[in-house]
Amino acid sequence: MNRVKKDDTVRVISGKDAGKEGRVVHVYPKQERVMVEGVNRVTKHQRQQRTRTGAQQGGIVHEEAPIHLSNVMPVCPSCGNAARVGAKVVSGKRQRVCRKCDSEF
């Protein structure tokens, strides 16, 4: 089971965005990366492109880039801490638990 799911709030624990919190907008399980709102914004210098619908603006664009799972920790909705995640089985299903307050999420 993934430690982080879409729509979780996560805290960034390393890198240039350390300390920031954001909502997970996408999970890339194979790359073990997550896209987090407002985190890991990168500046791209883009060449002007022509598409079928017309000319696309070139120039400098800011967009978010996926960040590695090891650099984020989920924020527990019950206790508000960035917490390590445990697992336990509840009625046959694996459930994530906060290691700090033991609540399931």
Binding region for Zn ion (CB under 5 A): 76, 78-79, 98, 100-101
Q: How far is the CB of 13 from Zn ion (least distance, A)?
A: 16
- Closest approach of Zn ion to the CB of residue 104, in Å: 10
Cβ contacts of residue 31 below 8 Å, gap of 6+?
66
Token digits for 27?
């999970």
The residue (of 56 and 95) whose beta carbon lies closer to Zn ion is: 95
Q: State in angstroms the smallest separation of the CB of 87 from Zn ion.
A: 14
CB-wise, 24 or 76, nearer to Zn ion?
76
